[in-house]
Chain A
Amino acid sequence: MSKKRIRVLVAKPGLDGHDRGAKVIAQALRDAGMEVVYTGLRQTPEQIVSAAVQEDVNVVGMSILSGAHGTLFPEVIKLLKEKGAGDILVVGGGIIPEEDVPALKEAGIAEIFGPGTPLEEVVKYIQANVKN
């Protein structure tokens, strides 16, 4: 029996317009056989969580390069839990200083992928850690 395809929401929270990385990751996950929805720019945490629930995804991947990750990433986790979607695997990427990573992980972000991460590494991480 074939395994269910992994469904991923790639999201751009906040006002930051840098979406090169988000789109490249989205394409790589799609090429790896996952079903990928990309939100587009300027999504509030509420919009991201509602899209995640509506699209019934297993994974949310967020990208921020503006420095607003400390506020917005934890807010998404909090709202996902409130909606009973706390089992979704949430990962992040962008320009995120290493010293901020422990607090983000503490808040419930499973992994942070910084600049220079090979696409393969993200694909494998998701395949290994998704709760399907």
Chain B
Amino acid sequence: MFREDQLEKIAAKKESWTAKLEATKKKRPERQSQFATDSGVDINTVYTPLDLKDMDYERDLGLPGEYPFTRGVQPNLYRGRLWTMRQYAGFGSAEETNQRFRYLLEQGQTGLSCAFDLPTQIGYDSDHPLAQGEIGKVGVAIDSLADMETLFDQIPLGKVSTSMTINAPAGVLLAMYIACAEKQGFDKSQINGTIQNDVIKEYICRGTYILPPEPSMRLISNIFEYCSKEIPQWNTISISGYHIREAGATAAQEIAFTLADGIAYVDAAIKAGLDVDTFGPRLSFFFNAHLNFFEEIAKFRAARRVWAKVMKERFGAKNPRSWTLRFHTQTAGVSLTAQQPMVNIMRTAFEALSAVLGGTQSLHTNSYDEALALPCDESVMIALRTQQVIGYEIGVCDLVDPLGGSYYIESLTNALEEKAWEYIGKIDALGGADKAIEYMQKEIHNSAYQYQLAIDNKKKTVIGVNSFIMQDEEKPKGLLKVDLSVGERQVAKLAKVKAGRDNAKVESLLKDIREAAQSNANLIPVFIDAVKEYVTLGEICGVLRDVFGEYKQQIVF
């Protein structure tokens, strides 16, 4: 990118400058003996063209919307439309969550993101013994289509896009969403949204798995195939680094483990006979925005470049849309502190800014009270306003990839890419992500432990926790509480649904699901038939558990 003679001149200049720097350091010693990013990339005092001397602009950066997409997936990005402001919400009953959804839409949110409670995520109905104490706690409880109808009451599913954080039973919840949209009078081809559907990271770090890897991968391929034919606008998977990062991974590990999971899904779908360009364009991703500002921006850029190369070079995808890595971002929950919680507003704002400068397609900003409880209406509103300030007031959305060409950002993007390829190589050698779960868990745990030690020995400053501590801090008031009666009401509602449906038909539909599961048929159409007759999530997942068995976690620490 630079002429040889220019570089020579800069190199000579830098040599004399370095001597001056050393002299300065003697007078003004540095705060740390060494500076490095969270992924362990050493940080120099300053960056110059010398750090980018091997860079080839066209090969490594290109223009926005062009391979290798380092600078973004669209030519005009936020000059066209801002990212989708999408706050993850859901708690208690379908009625309460419906109210929160409508509140968020009234406040100017542009898409929905639904949180389900743990029994729903693990495929148990609310009347299951293991659901005890968990109903409606971390999200909304959905047992049958009846709950889904309440959840989206007065929200037109043909017009709003919805992201659903659902993995192991994603096919069943998708079936309910389709059935609900049709009942509202929309054609299923009009619906738009995302299911997370990323089971490998559930094995690695999030924990809401049901079935072993092989049938799980088959269900995912079934979804890819069904959606490519029937609901072409749907994002069939959100391959998630978010939780990998929350569990402790570094930025480089987040890129590598997420994309390695992506490679495993593409491999499985190709093995199931699908063409990479039929499902490739609908794959989407989900990343974390953590505190180390520049490293995060570089991370998003590096991830796009690595994925473009994976899809084009490794899988031979021909459709440019298959090469693009489109992603949702959430700010880092793990960076929030229970101490001086208002400070979390600032942390979240900087994290969100890194996601925007990194070119995210949608964004969730955490609320300041989330280290204490589920967010209240007020804290959610401030979180959404934070995005609106970034989008409308500070001018960062008026051009694409504003930090592209920064000597530091480009150098860091290269360094993270290099580290990511190294990890991907290791995972390939273990047989792919679905075979390397324990390896990734070990790496993540080691990073998490080092991070905590760095906080404990004050190598890493956390305001309110190990520095600038306030004695007699006033405790925040008005935290949201989910009361236990939600569980009782939900169980009663479920009993009423079961009493009011055609139970002979339910039995026959469950038999159809069993037979489809035992054959090679695509399971999604039979799920849709079943949920329309109010067959419950727990009943469907019960059949799948029976046919395929359950995943048993290896304990690694």
Residues of A within 8 A of B (CB): 14-20, 23-24, 26-28, 38-42, 44, 66-68, 70-72, 95, 97-98, 114-116, 118-120
Contact = CB atoms under 8 A, between A and B. Distances in A.
Interface of B: 118-119, 121-122, 130-134, 137-138, 202, 205-208, 246-248, 334, 336-339, 371-374, 445, 448-449, 452-453, 455-456, 462, 464-466, 475, 479, 481-482, 484, 553, 555, 557
The 7 closest A-B pairs by CB, nearest first: A17-B207, A71-B133, A15-B118, A68-B133, A67-B137, A116-B465, A23-B557
Given A15-B118, A17-B207, A120-B456, A23 B448 contact: yes
Among A16, A17, A27: residue with most chain B CB under 10 A: A17
B133 A27 contact: no
B413 to A, nearest CB: 27
Given A27-B557, A115-B337, A41 B207 contact: yes
A118 B456 contact: yes
A66 B118 contact: yes
A38 B371 CA distance: 24
- Chain A interface helix/strand/loop/mixed: loop
A40 B555 contact: yes
Nearest to A14: B134
B97 to A, nearest CB: 15
24 contacts: A15-B121, A15-B208, A16-B138, A17-B207, A18-B207, A20-B248, A20-B445, A20-B448, A24-B449, A26-B557, A28-B449, A40-B553, A41-B207, A66-B134, A66-B138, A67-B374, A67-B482, A70-B133, A72-B133, A114-B338, A115-B337, A116-B339, A116-B371, A120-B456
A71 B338 contact: no
A99 to B, nearest CB: 8
A67 B138 contact: yes
A50 to B, nearest CB: 16
Nearest to B136: A67
A17 B208 contact: yes
Nearest to B487: A71
A115 B482 contact: no
Nearest to A36: B557
Nearest to A25: B452
B370 to A, nearest CB: 8
Given A20-B247, A23-B445, A24-B449, A97 B479 contact: yes
Given A19-B247, A41-B553, A68-B137, 5 more contacts: A15-B118, A18-B246, A42-B130, A67-B134, A120-B456
